[in-house]
A and B are shown apart, each in its own frame.
Chain A
Amino acid sequence: MEILSLLGQGFVVAATPLNIGLLLMGCFIGTLLGALPGLGPVNGVAVLIPLTFAFGFDPTSSMILLCAVYFGCMYGGRISSILLNIPGDEPAIMTTLDGYPMAVQGQAANALAISGVASFVGATIAVLGLSLFAPVLARAAIHFGPADYFALYILAFATIGGIAGVDPRKTLLSALIGLLLATVGLDPISGVPRYTFDSFHLYDGIEPIVALVGLFAISEILMLLEMHLKDRPKAIPVGSWLPQWGAIWKTRAAMLRGSGVGFVAGVLPGAGASLGSFMAYVAEKQWSNKKGTFGKGDPRGVAAPEAGNNAASGGALIPMLSLGVPGSGTTAVLLAMLISLNVQPGPLLFERQPDLVWGLVASLYMANIALLILNLPMIGIFTRLMMTPTWALMPVVAAVTFVGVYGISNSVFDLEMMVAFGVIGYVLRKMDVSLVPLVLGLLLGGDMERNLRRAMSISDGDWSILIASPISIGLYILTAGFLVLSVWLAVRDHRQTQAERLTEG
């Protein structure tokens, strides 16, 4: 009950006209930034920091604005995943797997609506978790040590074979290429530059967003160019402008499962939204892919990762606020923002500045509702975007991705690398190699390696530390179970198709 009264107080703090105005503005800017490929929450939040300084907003108002942008980006990222097969930001890659096929089948409106509602469900569950259990969860998360993180990444990569593609070897190779790319740059532990070919441009490693937009956006242009001009769809047929509510309702269970998985991933500092959406997708596929419809436009394959992505971003606020540990790149920027506003997140934040914390939580509830209301009417506008002929749409998309990358790093080298990734992406796609694992490998590889090395530093070189804690043992058992189940399902499917063939023959 105490929480309810605190939350009520939070609503009083948050619901001033200024804050509501900032909230709406943040939601809109966030959705826009998230939807533009190459621009994501990190830029959005960084762009707004000077603004909050310029107007001298108090910390609560600044935080409300920035969190609205943060949540808005998470909503927005899926839009270009679904409509263009180009993820708007990193966590939205999983949504391309089933979202784009749905759009191609004329179900763009449904896919957008399902992902919008799933985002709402995921984010709301995360905010509920945040308001009810934040301190407890933060105290639990600190028991996750380096060896346990490494086990978590092993689980992620062991299950990667199941996400997409015909040949699991190619999927694994794709993930390994991502891990390979993740080792490029100055090694943060030893300070040794690795695979940089003496170029200072590579010292900071390969920026995932550069690889992401190159692999998806540039390769998409090359794919389109190899089609016959008249075969190429002028625009994808849009079945209906308006979503069907029945279709959304059918995915409710997937949304709830995705939210649960994503939230857990978000609460662990360092795992973040990309891992959240990925794990949510894999878990959902394992759970309900009985007819092999995943990857071909299954609505549950849109609902689960979107719920997971938003639940994880909400969950990542828990370690950020109550421990001061950023769970992702974006929360790192929010954290810097708070510190420069003279707010020190950490164990005492909830006691010392309850107004700020509960005002923020209340504003997150409001941001979610605002985003849902803002996003649903926009579905019609976005689906119309698909009527734009390819020759007009793709050049503009290419220009936007170039700006997105250049606007952050001011580096022409990054643009060149982006084009190179486009060629690599095209070749790999021609060979039926899924690009999603590659990006995941690049995103998670650095942390995977660092946690392995931290664990080995702690044990002074004794490998047995990797299986020394109950958490890591549990994760390895889960991994093994997952693999056994996958093999068993594959064998069963194989037998069934054989049996069908026999009866037909």
Chain B
Amino acid sequence: MIFRSLTSVKLGAALAATMTLTALPASATECIAPSNPGGGWDFTCRTIGRILSELELVDGNVQVTNMPGGVGAVTFAMVAAERADDADLIVATSTVGITQIAQGRYPAPLETMRYLAMLGADVGVIAVDNDSPIQTLAQLNEAMAADPTSLVTAGSSGAGGWDHIRLLMVAQEAGVEDLGAIRWVQFDGGTDAVTQMMGGQIDVVSTDLGEIAGFVESGDIRILAALSDEPIPAFPDVPTAVSQGVDVIGYNWRGLYTGGQVTDEQYAEWVSKLETLYNSPEWQEAATASGLVPIWRGGDTFEAFVREQAQVMEQISRDIGVIE
């Protein structure tokens, strides 16, 4: 009986909440996910927004706004033009966004924004179907070096995007010269690519581990290499590329930026709030649950890291031939 009245209280409260949810002390804090609902940036905003208000680091709720377009370019342009000094605004970004900037696909340069922190990273992996004749990264590299056109590779980014670049970095290390000859197919998500691989349409997938981990556990696909410094805690048996003599690291970190004209004090306040959030068990749990490795870089360290990564990315894109 107690249980029942508890649930009905909960339900009544839920009904009331639909009426009053927005009447709660409205918070001015807003997180823009520059994509549609679903996907990495949306996850970043919704999870961080939820935990920020749970930990009472902000007043009330964090309003999450989806502003898709141009792999983040639309939001970037809007913040630069209209909200450069709005300290209540944070925007989700990741390696994918920085890659776009480095390739000149955003309307303004990197320095337009102030980069707050990265809170976690997804690990890039190279995977094949479980029935594939290719058993190791060495065999894959051998096959690619012998005939770059022999394999069909795929991932969730377009040609020249981060998934594609990570694969080409591996191929370059393996001594493949004609990188453009490797066939690359874009899919809308890592899972789409993996299921197409299971259906026999493509041979190799390069993407983030988080989304496709279930297929590794079920034994449908096999990871040839994880592009991380250390073996992944969830899959300790999976060898890293580095341990196989292929010196490629390919994380997809998740982080946030804010407008370029936010004051130093406001910037520092955000960085310290995010550090508190990063150290909370709530974030550690949410991040691990969605396949992220929690990694902290904040403030000036992160600014420097982003700049360096953009330079590296530009150089790689140029070497590989993605940009001229």
Contacts and interface: CB of A to CB of B under 8 A. Distances in A.
Q: Do A and B have CB atoms closer than 8 angstroms in the complex? A: yes
Interface of A: 16-18, 21-22, 25, 29, 42, 45-46, 49-51, 53-55, 142-146, 186-191, 193, 200-201, 203-204, 269-270, 319, 323-326, 329, 332-333, 335-336, 339-340, 342, 344-349, 408, 410, 450, 453-454, 457-458, 460
Contacts of A342: 286, 289-290
A348 B11 CA distance: 31
Contact of A457 (B7, B66, B78, B184): B184
B37 A22 contact: no
Which 10 pairs between the two chains have the least Cβ-Cβ distance?
A346-B214, A336-B38, A204-B69, A142-B199, A203-B70, A347-B218, A18-B7, A145-B201, A21-B11, A203-B69
Interface string B30-60: 0000001111001100110010000000000
Interface residues of B, number: 69
B186 A188 contact: yes
B214 A191 contact: no
Nearest to B218: A347
Nearest to A186: B70
A304 B77 CA distance: 46
Contacts of A189: 158-159, 186
Nearest to A347: B218
B21 A458 contact: no
24 contacts: A18-B8, A21-B15, A25-B15, A29-B18, A51-B14, A51-B18, A142-B196, A145-B201, A189-B159, A200-B73, A201-B74, A203-B73, A204-B68, A204-B69, A332-B37, A333-B37, A339-B290, A342-B290, A344-B213, A346-B218, A408-B66, A450-B188, A458-B152, A458-B202
Contacts of B185: 146, 454, 457-458
Contacts of A450: 186, 188
B321 interface: no
A214 B48 CA distance: 36
Interface in B69-121: 69-71, 73-74, 77-78, 100, 103, 105, 107
Nearest to B18: A51
- Among the interface residues A49, A319, A324, which one has the most CB atoms of the partner chain B within 10 A? A324
Nearest to A144: B199
Contacts of A410: 65, 67
Contacts of A340: 43, 46-47, 286, 290
Interface of B: 4, 7-8, 10-11, 13-15, 17-18, 21, 36-39, 42-43, 46-47, 50, 61, 64-71, 73-74, 77-78, 100, 103, 105, 107, 149, 152, 158-161, 183-189, 191-192, 195-196, 198-202, 211, 213-215, 217-218, 220, 286, 289-290
A102 to B, nearest CB: 34
Contact of B70 (A193, A345, A346): A193
Contact of A346 (B77, B191, B199): B191
Contacts of A346: 191, 214-215, 218
Nearest to A458: B152
A363 to B, nearest CB: 15
A17 B11 CA distance: 9
B18 A332 contact: no
Contacts of B47: 340
B42 A336 contact: yes
B249 to A, nearest CB: 24
Contacts of B77: 200
Contact of A347 (B21, B38, B215): B215
Contacts of A349: 214
A454 B160 CA distance: 15
Among the interface residues A49, A190, A193, A340, which one has the most CB atoms of the partner chain B within 10 A? Answer: A340
Given A54-B21, A450-B186, A347 B73 contact: no
A191 B160 contact: yes
Contacts of B217: 348
Nearest to A342: B289
A270 B18 CA distance: 32
